Amino acid sequence: MYFGTPKWENIWISEKDLEIILEKLSEFIKPSPYGSENVSLNYGLHITGGEPFLNYNILLKSIQLGNELKIPSLFVETNCYWCKNDEITKEKLNELRRNGLKGILISVNPFILEHIPFEHTERAIKKSKDIFGNNVMIYQKYYYYQFKSLGIKEKFSIEQYLRKVDINDLQKKVELFQMGRAAYKLQDFYKKHPSNFFFKENCQLDLVRNWHNHFDNYRNYMPGYCGGLSWGNIRNLDSLCNEGINLDDFPVFRCLILGNMKDLYDYSVENFDFRENSDGYISKCHLCTDIRRKIVIETNKIKELKPREFYFHI
Ligand code: SF4
């Protein structure tokens, strides 16, 4: 979704920003339907990345702050790269638990498997269950059981993986958002369409939803799962909420919320000479990202297209 790669500059959220932002957010965060001591995917607050364990000190500080602010259903997402042995795994999970972490989400998918031995993932799940009980989410379970049934222990390349599985079957059984890097890298597995196939699409529900939004280390308030888009500086959340937003200042949002993908397409063709890819697109998000990339190449004046770095990692 966010074109995560080690090639991004090594910039971390500051403690000061964390304090300000978490304090502002704390009043809006809803607990899991099972209660604030439990976790659910789209409730509470999750610390994610990139990979949050890459900077363990900031992760720990986030949990401490979240706990002080009584933010409910606090959990962390991880790819388990750091679970190299039982001691380290137990020690870190216990420390986070003592400081207020309520649960954990463990990412399992073939993209992570390319880089992280599956035995790290299995260790993380086992130790997490010992420490967090039922507050352990495996995303996605289908892959977890599939990797186990394939007898995988180490890393496994995507090419090896794709030789072992039926991709058509996979598409029916797992959740895969056709956006971000996936739209580009996996495009050959999906039917492609010319841009006008997506012209009637509108993104109001994706962009103004009141659940599962993210903020990043550049202080962007990012709507939904839409990488490279920002409603502005999360430190200004009060004015964003109280004064509202004038969509005339946000031409891309204006097209996608009040209009549709055709409006965004026309806007980009007229103003930035966008030319669609003749190979076509697998999803509205694929087209949207391609259009936005072209706009960012041509101008730095469209303020909702942030972080700009996102577009240079496509
Ligand atoms: S088309 Fe663009 S704005 Fe709409 S959901 Fe996809 S990435 Fe977000």
Per-residue pLDDT tens for 31-73?
999 999 999 999 999 999 889 999 999 999 999 999 999 999 9
pLDDT tier at 121, thresholds 50, 70, 90:
very high
Quote the ligand 1 centre to 229 CA distance (angstroms).
9
Region 265-287: mean pLDDT is 98
Q: Which amino acids bring their CB within 6 angstroms of ligand 1?
A: 179, 203, 206-207, 226, 256, 284-285, 288
Quote the ligand 1 centre to 226 CA distance (angstroms).
6
- What pLDDT shows up at residue 6? 83
Q: Which atom of ligand 1 is nearest to the CA of 284?
A: 1
Domain boundaries, the chain: 31-176, 181-314
- What pLDDT shows up at residue 86? 98
Quote the ligand 1 centre to 65 CA distance (angstroms).
32
- What pLDDT shows up at residue 116? 97
Region 160-180: mean pLDDT is 87
Q: What is the 3-state secondary structure (H, E, C) of the chain?
A: CCCCCCCCCCCCCCHHHHHHHHHHHHCCCCCECCECCCCCCCCCEEECCCCHHHHHHHHHHHHHHHHHCCCCCEEEEECCCCCCCHHHHHHHHHHHHHCCCCEEEEECCHHHHCCCCHHHHHHHHHHHHHHHCCCEEEECHHHHHHHHHCCCCCCCCHHHHHHHCCHHHHHHHCCCCCCHHHHHHCHHHCCCECHHHHCCCCCHHHHCCCCCCEECCCCEEECCCCCCCCCCEHHHHHHHHHHCCCHHHCHHHHHHHHCCHHHHHHHHHHHHCCCCCCCCECCHHHHHHHHHHHHHHHCCCCCCCCCHHHHHCC
Pocket test for ligand 1, best of 1, 229, 284 (most atoms within 8 A of CB): 284
Of all protein residues, whose CA lies closest to atom 1 belonging to ligand 1? 285
Of all protein residues, whose CA lies closest to atom 8 belonging to ligand 1? 226
Q: Which of 64-73, 201-210, 236-245, 246-255 has the lowest mean pLDDT?
A: 236-245
Quote the ligand 1 centre to 75 CA distance (angstroms).
26
- What pLDDT shows up at residue 115? 93
> pLDDT of 194-233, one tens digit each?
999 999 999 999 999 999 999 999 999 999 899 999 999 9
- What pLDDT shows up at residue 194? 98
Region 116-138: mean pLDDT is 98
- What pLDDT shows up at residue 159? 86
Mean pLDDT, rounded, of the chain? 95
- What pLDDT shows up at residue 264? 98
Q: Which of 1-5, 35-39, 297-301 has the lowest mean pLDDT?
A: 1-5
- What pLDDT shows up at residue 247? 95
Quote the ligand 1 centre to 16 CA distance (angstroms).
31
pLDDT tier at 248, thresholds 50, 70, 90:
very high
Region 256-268: mean pLDDT is 98
Question: What's the predicted TM-score (pTM) here?
Answer: 0.93
